[in-house]
Chains A and B, each alone.
Chain A
Amino acid sequence: MNRISIELSIARVVLSLGSVLLAAGTLGAQSPHQDFSGFWEPKYTGGSGAFSDVFGKVDRAPLVPGLPPMQRPSGEHPAYGAKDPVDGSACRVLAFPFFMTSSPPFDILQRDDEILIVSEREGGSRHIYMDGRSHPSDVEHTSNGHSIGHWEGDTLVIDTVGFLGFAGVPGGGRRGPNTHLVEQYKIVDSGEHLTVRFSWEDPAIYTKPHSYTLNYYKMPKDTYAFEDPCDSGNAKEYQSVNGVSVIGATSVYRQDTPPAKSPPAPAAPVK
């Protein structure tokens, strides 16, 4: 190869690189993946709070025989782990996956390195790390768990571990500290609908993976988030948790002790 040919080859490479850069800049450096950004809501045709539209389509969870009923105090059961403050009462955090079936919409912010799924309900936001990291070996157990994601074609696959114990799952299922969730997100109908396939795995809870699909509807572009305030210090409906008054300075102390049959006497004032 003579000198002119080498210069010609280098020039062609530089020209191609410049064209690619120019195209990328012109297109605003668009991601090659499906865009899930925006507000999505489950729709309940039966009216507010009519969850039959969602739960009616979910098969019963294949529970391991002998599991205690979910509503019963079960902090000692190995499938649940320690009870956590995510039961929704008294303004406690509503445990995942509740907000994925609750009527308020959730907002998805999509980046190449991370996807945020933001709920209006108590329970914060889900961080889906897309930067190739793995789950930490010493994962901190949280209501939303630790989530990593990747793309399989036009499907977003999210893998989540590290849940806090004891929370309900549609179909009569539940999740515990060792539960593993795989979700598959896919946009259909020209972007108007989002389908999410949930698959829960936990040998201590399920005899086989508990899977179901939920559908969400795209909301208008000018949708904005509401705030869902909750004040257990004021609302009458939160004045009793498990039959125990929680109003006042002293009654909450009994959360560390077994429920009393009768209300305890107020603590003596500090002298």
Chain B
Amino acid sequence: MKANCTPRKSAQCMALLASFVLIFAARSNAQSATPDISGFWELRYWSRNIPKATLTPAAANADRQAQAEKEFHAIRWCNHVGVPFMMDDGSPIDVRQSKNEIAITSQSNSPVRHIYMDGRQHPSIDTFDPTTLGNSIGRWSGDTLVVDTMGFNDAGLNAIPGGGVRGENSHLIEQYKLSGEGRKLQVTFTWIDDKMFTKPHTYAFMYEKLPSSTTAREWLCDPMDGARARFLIDPPQPPK
């Protein structure tokens, strides 16, 4: 269609052009923007959808007493708890999203999770020292953040919700998606480990957002705290 912009109609023509620019700019911004999942997020009593994992025979027959003692040691001596425990430790997680990286901090005794968003691949498993958090890389698939983690060890609190434990053979894929006008964050966890599960084990958490004025707290785990040690070690006593 040929524009018919005479001097008399110049204002209307400029307004038309401006509208096109405004619409194009808005669409351009909308397309380039990714959701911002930053904030403090906490789980509620209804926030866990955890089916029972389908374990391999070897995993199903694992020594439960040894696992219980291992977990007690990790708690008693303030070991790093690691993934997946830090994502559900009874206190809010703090997610901070920047251009090249997303950090997830918890108030339990865990280092910060680094999710690298700069397009890198996992480091070679031959040179990477396994950790309780593993090595995480992320990408956006539409409005969903997909995080791929490998390079785990079995240290800390390694029990997986629904059954099984984290170890060096574990591969975790997480999907983060906002809902409820940004007030809810659903994280779907899928663990893949052919020594642990007969099929990938998937469960989901739904976090609720806390106010933006929330302040990070510092949680010091002191293995020399006598009262803490006493509480953990001594069996609770009934009233005399």
Bitwise interface map of B from 208 to 240 toward A, beta carbon under 8 Å scored 1, else 0: 000011011111101111110110011100000
Q: Taking the complex as formed, is A213 at the interface, i.e. its CB lies under 8 A from any CB of chain B?
A: no
Q: Taking the complex as formed, is A136 at the interface, i.e. its CB lies under 8 A from any CB of chain B?
A: yes
Q: Which residue of A lies closest to B38 (CB)?
A: A111
A26 to B94, CA, bound (A): 30
Query: In the assembled complex, which residues on chain B have CB atoms less than 8 Å from the CB atom of A49?
Result: none
CB contact list, A88-142 vs B, under 8 A: 90-93, 107, 109-111, 113-114, 116, 118, 120, 124-125, 127, 129, 131, 133, 136, 140, 142
Contact of B79 among A4, A113, A231 (CB under 8 A): A231
Query: In the assembled complex, which residues on chain A have CB atoms less than 8 Å from the CB atom of B135?
Result: 224
Given contacts A19-B21, A37-B101, contact A225 B29 (CB under 8 A): no
Q: Taking the complex as formed, is B103 at the interface, i.e. its CB lies under 8 A from any CB of chain A?
A: yes
Query: In the assembled complex, which residues on chain B have CB atoms less than 8 Å from the CB atom of A11?
Result: 11, 14-15, 17-18
Q: Which residue of B lies closest to A108 (CB)?
A: B98
A146 to B101, CA, bound (A): 23
Scoring A11, A93, A127 by chain B CB atoms within 10 A of each residue's CB, the highest score goes to: A11
Question: How many Cβ-Cβ contacts under 8 Å join chain A to chain B?
Answer: 180
Contact of A4 among B11, B32, B101 (CB under 8 A): B11
Q: Taking the complex as formed, is A60 at the interface, i.e. its CB lies under 8 A from any CB of chain B?
A: no
Q: Taking the complex as formed, is B73 at the interface, i.e. its CB lies under 8 A from any CB of chain A?
A: yes
Scoring B29, B111, B225 by chain A CB atoms within 10 A of each residue's CB, the highest score goes to: B111
Given contacts A25-B28, A229-B155, contact A246 B223 (CB under 8 A): yes
CB distance from B78 to the nearest CB of A (A): 6
Bitwise interface map of A from 1 to 40 toward B, beta carbon under 8 Å scored 1, else 0: 0001101101110110111011011101100000001100
A125 to B10, CA, bound (A): 58
- Determine if A227 and B132 form an interchain contact, defined as CB atoms under 8 angstroms apart: yes
- Determine if A227 and B10 form an interchain contact, defined as CB atoms under 8 angstroms apart: no
Query: In the assembled complex, which residues on chain A have CB atoms less than 8 Å from the CB atom of B219?
Result: 124
- Determine if B11 and A224 form an interchain contact, defined as CB atoms under 8 angstroms apart: no
Contact of A124 among B96, B105, B120, B234 (CB under 8 A): B105
CB distance from A15 to the nearest CB of B (A): 4
CB distance from B98 to the nearest CB of A (A): 4
Bitwise interface map of B from 1 to 43 toward A, beta carbon under 8 Å scored 1, else 0: 0000000101110110111011011101100110000100000
CB distance from A3 to the nearest CB of B (A): 8
Given contacts A28-B32, A270-B235, contact A10 B15 (CB under 8 A): yes
Q: A25-B25, A127-B94 are in contact. List 9 more A-B contacts (CB 8 A).
A: A5-B11, A14-B22, A21-B26, A29-B33, A93-B222, A109-B98, A110-B98, A114-B96, A125-B216
Binding site for B on A (CB under 8 A): 4-5, 7-8, 10-12, 14-15, 17-19, 21-22, 24-26, 28-29, 37-38, 84-86, 90-93, 107, 109-111, 113-114, 116, 118, 120, 124-125, 127, 129, 131, 133, 136, 140, 142-144, 146, 221-222, 224-234, 241, 246, 249, 252-256, 270
A–B Cβ pairs within 8 angstroms, 20 of them: A4-B11, A7-B15, A17-B22, A18-B24, A19-B21, A24-B29, A85-B225, A109-B101, A109-B103, A116-B96, A140-B217, A222-B120, A227-B129, A233-B77, A233-B223, A234-B77, A249-B229, A249-B233, A253-B229, A256-B226
Binding site for A on B (CB under 8 A): 8, 10-12, 14-15, 17-19, 21-22, 24-26, 28-29, 32-33, 38, 73, 76-80, 94, 96-101, 103, 105, 111-112, 114, 116, 118, 120, 123, 129, 131-133, 135, 155, 212-213, 215-220, 222-227, 229-230, 233-235
